[in-house]
A and B are shown apart, each in its own frame.
Chain A
């Protein structure tokens, strides 16, 4: 069954090819069926592969399928091969599963769009690239997938390219990602120089054999460069600015690419390279610090945003910060677990917000919503599940994963990690309920024009919402503390260092044995506090937010304008680079380089026009030259000796 793994990749590619090449001529229904069918088949194969993997004994759950030799140049070898292990099989289940639901949802959401076939072509291509990213058995193949998902992200953010803000956002996402990808590429080259191979197996084997000293300079640089790639793709400080702007794309795209799958590629990559990262304590500290900082930073911005999708975008950045915090303290399992639950509830939230936007004919500003509860009841109920899940109320999915991260941060990291994470959790609960209340409760502020068209979404949009709601409700039970299925499943990948909640508790002594339970109570309390604050400010006394904003106008403005980070980046990087580029273009290129080239050409031309005077075309002159040449040759022969 594991041999079927290439089919997982093949189906989306076929879908891309059909929709890209002849999609324009097909009927809309056909395009949708092909795209969804491709991902559905892929999902089915992924399930088969997953069960195939389960049948193997846990310690030998690695399967590599070599497709063909791709590059061979000297000692450099790169094969196109696929690697199935617990981590990648979990990832392909998430990608194809959530992707399948979002594809179905898209049929309804994009129904009226002109670029219907183009949309599904890109979406299938994205799925293919993402699967390639997680299935590749070497760094180069992973990099190809990494770049291809970036390309698809660019294409889909700028899907409505006639809107200037959309095309600008697409370019921003692409360019900011370039910065990170540059680091990633350098990291891969350094890996090749250090280990003389880029195969995952070879590199990790060499690294785990103790050839590389813990904390050595090379491995620190390698991991920092890899992490630089991860910050770009997964929108961490300082490269997070593209993700909120990426919300210009269609909402299902935000759900699939910018919440559930692509942005988690960085987390996946760090989890995949856990052997390398464990060798560099310094990098781990950097990862944890940046993760924690991002979690808090993005959550604080999310507190005051008014655009429903932007709140969710900052929430995504914040949740990704949690995953990096988990990876940074060495709790890779917790990070991947949160990645999975996050994929469920954030996809749900985005799709729900898409349903709201759909119902309101494109309105995204929460100040023009309110009271939608009774008009779109299915959306409301599913959205509520997602909100509760992300806020961290037991027994919803977000509770288990977030709680595990906070626990690990406390046990393995230090109190500050935990405090920052807990504060971010408080913020998360607050802004998510603020969003919920502003959108669905209270008095309606919808303008009457949109009110006329207000309708619940069609079935093909609500069914995915319901399925995702079930997943968001139950997904957390895979990782119940003490009986965690996901820990056991992932342990072959992460070794003994992946998860140590019991081991950590033992280390703390008997008095700390109840620590996990204490933590659960505390984090539930934090979540409830956040929800109560939101209830207080937006239902009980709706004038309170205004007063607070006036009272702390400086902080409010700072948050509303996202700490002016975009403006700072513009001043620090964008504008100087623009100026330098202008200088290089106008002066260096147009004048210096073009001048040199044109000057050489002009000189040759002028010299030639002088020289051509010697070519008269008269036989007399040529005869004269011949005689002169004869004389010269004779003189040369006679006197040359």
Chain B
């Protein structure tokens, strides 16, 4: 059951991504990206990361993609306009480069370079406490400093966005 679900969801995600990179209309591009993100959220649930899945849905598929759509509509962009300059063979080297990248990543996966230490958070342990509570505990204990820095980052980003987008201060 789980493996079927993985294959179905994975296939949808990859197909949506392929459509994303070849679709001319940016609005559809954004919708395909939302599609991919929802699929990824499902994969998170399969990986016993329910809180992350929820945040993926709310922040990514919800907030960020709405922002994208909002900007697309604000600027009224219609597809890829033809440029004054033309790059005749721009797609072929790019695709070759992508295949090369995939190849080397797969080579890494096959080689035993990716080894890790087993930790204590088994599925049973997580379920006994609850995923969200565990993350909350960690955020305010071990990851307190990064968490606080994140808040500063968001604050600065908000100011920066306003600065950049405003016509006149």
Complex: how many Å from CA A634 to CA B108? Answer: 8
Q: Which residues of A contact B113 (CB under 8 A)?
A: 638
Does any Cβ of A come within 8 Å of B163's Cβ? no
| The one of B90, B93, B104 that contacts A631, using a Cβ cutoff of 8 Å | B104
Q: Do A628 and B97 touch across chains, with their CB atoms under 8 A apart?
A: yes
Q: Do A630 and B101 touch across chains, with their CB atoms under 8 A apart?
A: yes
Does any Cβ of A come within 8 Å of B129's Cβ? no
Q: Do A624 and B94 touch across chains, with their CB atoms under 8 A apart?
A: yes
Nearest chain B residue, comparing its CB with the CB of A623: B94
A545 to chain B, nearest CB (A): 99
A626 to chain B, nearest CB (A): 10
Q: Do B104 and A624 touch across chains, with their CB atoms under 8 A apart?
A: no
Residue pairs across A and B with CB atoms within 8 Å: the count is: 22
Q: Which residues of B contact A628 (CB under 8 A)?
A: 97
Q: Do B101 and A624 touch across chains, with their CB atoms under 8 A apart?
A: no
A473 to chain B, nearest CB (A): 100
Complex: how many Å from CA A635 to CA B100? Answer: 11
Q: Which residues of B contact A630 (CB under 8 A)?
A: 101
Q: Do A631 and B101 touch across chains, with their CB atoms under 8 A apart?
A: yes
Determine the interface band of chain A, counting residues with CB < 8 A from chain B.
Answer: under 10
- Of residues 573 through 632 on chain A, the ones whose CB sits less than 8 Å from some CB of chain B are 620, 624, 627-628, 630-631
Does any Cβ of A come within 8 Å of B107's Cβ? yes
Complex: how many Å from CA A463 to CA B90? Answer: 102
| The one of B93, B94, B104 that contacts A638, using a Cβ cutoff of 8 Å | B104
State the majority secondary structure of interface residues on B.
helix
Q: Which residues of A contact B90 (CB under 8 A)?
A: 620
| The one of A620, A624, A627, A638 that contacts B111, using a Cβ cutoff of 8 Å | A638
B89 to chain A, nearest CB (A): 12
Nearest chain B residue, comparing its CB with the CB of A627: B97
Q: Which residues of B contact A635 (CB under 8 A)?
A: 104
- Of residues 99 through 121 on chain B, the ones whose CB sits less than 8 Å from some CB of chain A are 100-101, 104-105, 107-108, 111, 113
**In the complex with contacts A620-B87, A620-B90, A624-B93, A631-B100 CB distance below 8 A:** yes
| The one of A620, A624, A627, A638 that contacts B107, using a Cβ cutoff of 8 Å | A638
Complex: how many Å from CA A628 to CA B93? Answer: 11
Q: Which residues of B contact A631 (CB under 8 A)?
A: 97, 100-101, 104
Q: Which residues of A contact B97 (CB under 8 A)?
A: 624, 627-628, 631
Q: Which residues of B contact A627 (CB under 8 A)?
A: 97, 101
**In the complex, per-residue mask of B104-143: 1 if CB is within 8 Å of any chain A CB, else 0:** 1101100101000000000000000000000000000000
Nearest chain A residue, comparing its CB with the CB of B108: A638
Complex: how many Å from CA A305 to CA B94? Answer: 96
Complex: how many Å from CA A630 to CA B108? Answer: 13
B47 to chain A, nearest CB (A): 25
A259 to chain B, nearest CB (A): 86
Complex: how many Å from CA A627 to CA B99? Answer: 11
Complex: how many Å from CA A628 to CA B100? Answer: 9
**In the complex, per-residue mask of A146-190: 1 if CB is within 8 Å of any chain B CB, else 0:** 000000000000000000000000000000000000000000000
Nearest chain B residue, comparing its CB with the CB of A628: B97
Q: Which residues of A contact B101 (CB under 8 A)?
A: 627, 630-631
Q: Which residues of B contact A624 (CB under 8 A)?
A: 93-94, 97
**In the complex, per-residue mask of B141-160: 1 if CB is within 8 Å of any chain A CB, else 0:** 00000000000000000000
22 pairs of residues in contact across A and B, judged by CB atoms under 8 Å: A620-B87, A620-B90, A624-B93, A624-B94, A624-B97, A627-B97, A627-B101, A628-B97, A630-B101, A631-B97, A631-B100, A631-B101, A631-B104, A634-B104, A634-B105, A634-B108, A635-B104, A638-B104, A638-B107, A638-B108, A638-B111, A638-B113
Residues of B in contact with A (beta carbons under 8 Å apart): 87, 90, 93-94, 97, 100-101, 104-105, 107-108, 111, 113
